[in-house]
Chains A and B, each alone.
Chain A
Amino acid sequence: MTRGGIYLHIPFCEAKCIYCDFCSYAGLEALHGAYVDALLVQIRQSGSSRHGLTFDTLFVGGGTPTVLTSEQLAAIVAACRTWLGLPEDAEATVEANPGTITQASLAALLQAGYNRLSIGVQSLHDQELALLGRIHDVRGALEAITAARAVGFSNLSLDLMYGLPHQPLARWQATLERALALAPEHLSLYALTIEERTPLARSIALGALPAPDDDLAADMYELAQEMLSACGYAQYEISNWARRSPGDQPGQPPARACQHNLHYWRNEPYLGLGVGAHGYDGQRRYAHIVDPEEYVRRVAAGESTLASSEAISRDQAMDETMIMGLRLANGVTRDRFRRRFGVELDAVYAEALAALANTGLLEVDATGIRLAPRGYLLGNRVFAEFMRAGS
């Protein structure tokens, strides 16, 4: 049986942040109940057409899943257990944003079976949080983390962003220091990306905010690499770090790595449900429509909620295995590639490997290939070489 993950999308937020181009909507509170019901219906329906997949991770993302009630979130994880066979001990992550959680609601989530919390902290500086349009301040973030620890969450991940408008290196360092002091099991650090048609993009176009400075962002990234490494964190993906545990094996991701996201990076299947959610069953990639009301209507009417579905050729699957897998510190191993595709990685990608030789971007050895330290910030240059024409 092929192992995979379950991704469920909750498209609701209390307010939309200025940089956000995800599928999320503020002000749709009236739809929450109907949407969760639709999701439960789809979970049940997916149970009968699993195509030999077993699910060993759950990730409830958003939006802000924690704008839903704990009961609604509990019903979701319970449905995954019942209909999709999600084991009791499987990693079950819910994204939570400070300002939408209390100690009581967190206790209920833990009780319901969520065992990993991914908290959208983004910054530990009040002005930065206000600028980004977050609904919380630093105190709110710290309280949320304290509450999570208090109720017994032992697997916490914090999201932080760098390269923010007007953010000097020293302030990023301060945010990192404060975050490290909280000793989270996991950290995701994202460079602020300007997405088209966001308020942020418009402000930059108008000159109201400065355009991102790639050199400074690179300095911030390198600073984070040093600090996190020194504090006992292993970088296992371009933007992700996990606290080292005693049993961690070289060549394997650390135990505290996000098991769900590892499915993506290993190009393994995942079931995606909810508006805007993408999924991959190993043969096809598909995406659901993005309009929540229409989604609810279609589920009720028994209609398909798919917006697109694309067959993935073998060549494409290989390329995707490379561009996703090279994001991981361990890269892509020859064994894994051979087992999956029955051919040698070096034969398929001779041209890419030749083009990248002597660039200092890629490490090649007997085990496999992976980004060299210099390649982390220049990943796209490497990945692009693995996109074969016509694939």
Chain B
Amino acid sequence: MTHNNAAPIAHVRNFCIIAHIDHGKSTLSDRLLELTRTIGERDMAEQVLDRMDLEREKGITIKAKAVRMLHDHADGQQYELNLIDTPGHVDFSYEVSHALSACEGAVLVVDAAQGIEAQTLANLYLALEHDLDIIPVINKIDLPAARPDEVAHEIEDLLGVPADEVLRVSAKEGLGAQELLKAIVERIRPPMGDDSRPLRALVFDSHYDSYKGVIAYVRVMDGIIEAESLLLTMSNRRRIEPMEVGVFGPQMRPVAQLGAGDVGYVATGLKNVRDCRVGDTITGATQPVAEPLPGFAPPKPMVYAGLYPVDNADYTDLRDALEKLQLNDASLVFQPESSTALNMGFRCGFLGLLHMEIVQERLEREHELELLATAPSVEYQVLLTNGEVIIVDNPSELPNLSQVEEIHEPWMHISLFSPSEYIGPLMELTTGRRGEFEKLEYLDERRVVLEFYIPLAEILVDFHDQLKSRTRGYASMDYAFDGHRPGDLVKMDILVNEEPVDALSLIVHRDSAYDKGSLLVRRLKEVIPSQLFAVPIQAAIGSKVIARTNVKATRKDVLAKCYGGDVTRKRKLLERQKEGRRRLKRVGKVDLPQEAFMAVLRLND
């Protein structure tokens, strides 16, 4: 049936584009938007500018993550193509999975020179799990290093799609984009669903708008959403009286209704993204369905770190900023934490290291906070001698070893994709970090995938950089949580000026404790500026000191000369010095720089 503002359901196609990073996903999206005149060629730049202005003005990120395009197909009919964007990084695979649930098809983009990479496969497997129709596309065929025939064969081996059916495009040059639109109509099935059934809509993304509240990005499975509908979120039974229903074109454009198969948005008026979470099901308040759509689970943090304001007075500002970020980022969790070294701050949980970096950067840039982050930690399950099991995500909270029966740590299953000549360095990298080799497979004559089990704690820090540097940037990685395993782990405390600094404690494997302790005290010596007195730095397990060094006292910090001409210059120099010291954190009697808390990140150099 036809519904207002939209094509009949048979003329709707919902798809996403999946690709390894840098394989050209956004350029290809841009070409499709241009070809369908969703955005005029000339508007592209202006569009970007407008968006940035708005971002600056409102301090929010406008996501154009689900764009409706209208395509005039060769059969003379007009089709509604909904392109749903997916985050590429594995940290966000939970969100990817919901974006895929909103689609019937996926365009799989593979770089003509690079071939299949880790995230190509990771995303492809996810797409196959969601039973999507896959259109493989080889991009960047204009590159001199392009080897489209070989890559087509890799894809054939992988997907069983005959090599000659693999589309070849150059998004940059606009080659093959028209053929891709044609394939989207012909090779992706229309959505199923029925306007007349009770409403079930999947929330696959959201953002917070200060005027309209939480904007839920929805894919309607059955039923109709109108601005007048009374709605209900199924996970927490939150009632919604929509302020607006619309589609992204790519700007938000109100429509009278969204029907089965449609993709669009509901401006919910809700004040917190937590009230309308990604993965949740929206139904009608008057005629709710009994069962939600499958797959809803709150995202689970994998990485934890303490975030502290450099200036204690900024504590409430930090809390407000975290709350604001949480409006847009349901996967960010935090709770107050206090440290003897750093005073009041927050223990934050992140999906992964990239997520942690993004959050930290946004807090510093958008909220102008100066932050200290402690080294990232994983979540340990600690079995105590009294039989109790506690969860520890902050090393300083690990109880005394005499009370600990066993410590379990999270292990990951990782897949490394690489040219075969780097097998040696990759084996060395992973086994050096307690990795257990599982298997090796050749993707073709020169590319392999190596699979390992490895403790998450060992890949948190610096692993990705090492992976890249040891393979000249060629290797890529995918990972998934495997399970908890017991390990011979100990807590290493760091004492600065004879006092333990809780924010520097870490949990390490007993076999590497001595090496890490020596290295850490050396690193700390490099980054701790000399103080007015000598500062001993020690690493200890329990009461046993395993490594020590000294930061020498500053003896001289004065300008030899200062006469009339130097006053202004001198004043500026002193101001700079003072500013520099303001960024230090006083712990006991010692001023520590941010780098001291991050020194632990450089233990594998």
By a beta-carbon cutoff of 8 Å, the part of chain A in contact with chain B is: 5, 7, 190-191, 193, 214-215, 217-218, 221, 238-239, 261, 263-265, 270, 272, 276-280, 285, 287, 310, 316, 319-320, 323-324, 327, 359, 361, 376-381, 383-385, 387
List 12 interface pairs A-B (beta carbons < 8 Å), by A numbering.
Answer: A7-B564, A7-B565, A190-B560, A214-B555, A215-B552, A270-B564, A377-B555, A378-B558, A379-B557, A380-B557, A383-B574, A384-B577
In the assembled complex, how far is the CB of residue A237 from the closest CB belonging to chain B, in whole angstroms? 9
Decide if A278 touches B567 in the complex (CB within 8 Å): yes
Tell me the complex Cα distance, A112–B2, Å.
107
In the assembled complex, how far is the CB of residue A332 from the closest CB belonging to chain B, in whole angstroms? 15
Decide if A285 touches B581 in the complex (CB within 8 Å): no
In the assembled complex, how far is the CB of residue B123 from the closest CB belonging to chain A, in whole angstroms? 48
In the assembled complex, how far is the CB of residue A158 from the closest CB belonging to chain B, in whole angstroms? 15
Q: A380-B574, A381-B532 are in contact. Are A239 and B560 (CB under 8 A)?
A: yes
In the assembled complex, how far is the CB of residue A108 from the closest CB belonging to chain B, in whole angstroms? 27
B570 at the interface (CB under 8 A from A): yes
Give residues 533-588 of B contacting A (CB, 8 Å).
Answer: 552, 554-568, 570-571, 573-575, 577-578, 581
The one of A191, A280, A324, A359 that contacts B562, using a Cβ cutoff of 8 Å: A324
Decide if A261 touches B563 in the complex (CB within 8 Å): yes
Decide if A359 touches B571 in the complex (CB within 8 Å): no
Tell me the complex Cα distance, A332–B581, Å.
25
In the complex, the chain A residue whose C-beta lies closest to that of B577 is A384
- How many A-B residue contacts, CB cutoff 8 Å? 96
Q: Give the chain B neighbours of A278 by CB distance below 8 A.
A: 564-568
In the complex, the chain B residue whose C-beta lies closest to that of A213 is B556
In the assembled complex, how far is the CB of residue A347 from the closest CB belonging to chain B, in whole angstroms? 21
Q: A310-B568, A323-B574, A359-B532 are in contact. Are A381 and B563 (CB under 8 A)?
A: no
Tell me the complex Cα distance, A319–B552, Å.
31
Tell me the complex Cα distance, A14–B8, Å.
91
In the complex, the chain B residue whose C-beta lies closest to that of A263 is B564
The one of B555, B558, B562, B565 that contacts A277, using a Cβ cutoff of 8 Å: B565
The one of A193, A261, A277, A310 that contacts B559, using a Cβ cutoff of 8 Å: A193
Q: Give the chain A neighbours of B573 by CB distance below 8 A.
A: 380
Q: Give the chain A neighbours of B578 by CB distance below 8 A.
A: 384-385, 387
Decide if B560 touches A380 in the complex (CB within 8 Å): no
Decide if B560 touches A193 in the complex (CB within 8 Å): yes
Tell me the complex Cα distance, A327–B562, Å.
9
In the complex, the chain B residue whose C-beta lies closest to that of A376 is B558
Report the count of interface residues on B (CB-CB < 8 A). 25
Decide if A323 touches B560 in the complex (CB within 8 Å): no
Decide if A238 touches B560 in the complex (CB within 8 Å): yes
Q: Give the chain B neighbours of A376 by CB distance below 8 A.
A: 558
Decide if B561 touches A190 in the complex (CB within 8 Å): yes
In the complex, the chain B residue whose C-beta lies closest to that of A279 is B564
Q: Give the chain A neighbours of B563 by CB distance below 8 A.
A: 261, 264
In the complex, the chain A residue whose C-beta lies closest to that of B565 is A278
Decide if B567 touches A319 in the complex (CB within 8 Å): no
Known: A277-B565, A279-B564, A323-B570. 5 other contacts (CB 8 A): A190-B560, A280-B564, A310-B568, A323-B571, A376-B558
Q: Give the chain A neighbours of B561 by CB distance below 8 A.
A: 190, 193, 239
Q: Give the chain B neighbours of A261 by CB distance below 8 A.
A: 563
Decide if B556 touches A218 in the complex (CB within 8 Å): yes
Tell me the complex Cα distance, A261–B560, Å.
14
Q: A380-B577, A384-B578 are in contact. Are A264 and B555 (CB under 8 A)?
A: no
In the complex, the chain B residue whose C-beta lies closest to that of A222 is B555
Q: Give the chain B neighbours of A380 by CB distance below 8 A.
A: 557-559, 573-574, 577
Tell me the complex Cα distance, A191–B568, Å.
21
Tell me the complex Cα distance, A309–B532, Å.
37
Tell me the complex Cα distance, A265–B570, Å.
13
Tell me the complex Cα distance, A379–B577, Å.
12
In the complex, the chain A residue whose C-beta lies closest to that of B566 is A278
Tell me the complex Cα distance, A383–B557, Å.
11
Q: Give the chain A neighbours of B566 by CB distance below 8 A.
A: 278
Q: Give the chain A neighbours of B559 by CB distance below 8 A.
A: 193, 379-380
In the complex, the chain A residue whose C-beta lies closest to that of B564 is A264
In the assembled complex, how far is the CB of residue B194 from the closest CB belonging to chain A, in whole angstroms? 66
Tell me the complex Cα distance, A359–B564, Å.
29
Q: Give the chain A neighbours of B557 by CB distance below 8 A.
A: 377-381
In the assembled complex, how far is the CB of residue A334 from the closest CB belonging to chain B, in whole angstroms? 22
Decide if B558 touches A238 in the complex (CB within 8 Å): yes
In the assembled complex, how far is the CB of residue A41 from the closest CB belonging to chain B, in whole angstroms? 22
Tell me the complex Cα distance, A261–B561, Å.
11
Tell me the complex Cα distance, A133–B474, Å.
53
In the assembled complex, how far is the CB of residue B564 from the closest CB belonging to chain A, in whole angstroms? 5
Decide if B571 touches A272 in the complex (CB within 8 Å): no
Q: A217-B556, A359-B532 are in contact. Are A387 and B574 (CB under 8 A)?
A: yes
Tell me the complex Cα distance, A361–B533, Å.
12
Tell me the complex Cα distance, A6–B314, Å.
49
Tell me the complex Cα distance, A5–B577, Å.
30
| The 4 A-B residue pairs with the shortest CB-CB distance in the complex, in nearest-first order | A379-B558, A218-B555, A278-B565, A190-B560
In the assembled complex, how far is the CB of residue B588 from the closest CB belonging to chain A, in whole angstroms? 14
Q: Give the chain B neighbours of A239 by CB distance below 8 A.
A: 560-561
Decide if A387 touches B575 in the complex (CB within 8 Å): yes
In the complex, the chain A residue whose C-beta lies closest to that of B578 is A384
In the assembled complex, how far is the CB of residue B580 from the closest CB belonging to chain A, in whole angstroms? 9
In the assembled complex, how far is the CB of residue B447 from the closest CB belonging to chain A, in whole angstroms? 44
The one of B532, B554, B555, B571 that contacts A319, using a Cβ cutoff of 8 Å: B571
Q: Give the chain A neighbours of B570 by CB distance below 8 A.
A: 323
Tell me the complex Cα distance, A93–B581, Å.
39
In the assembled complex, how far is the CB of residue A315 from the closest CB belonging to chain B, in whole angstroms? 12
Q: Give the chain B neighbours of A387 by CB distance below 8 A.
A: 571, 574-575, 578
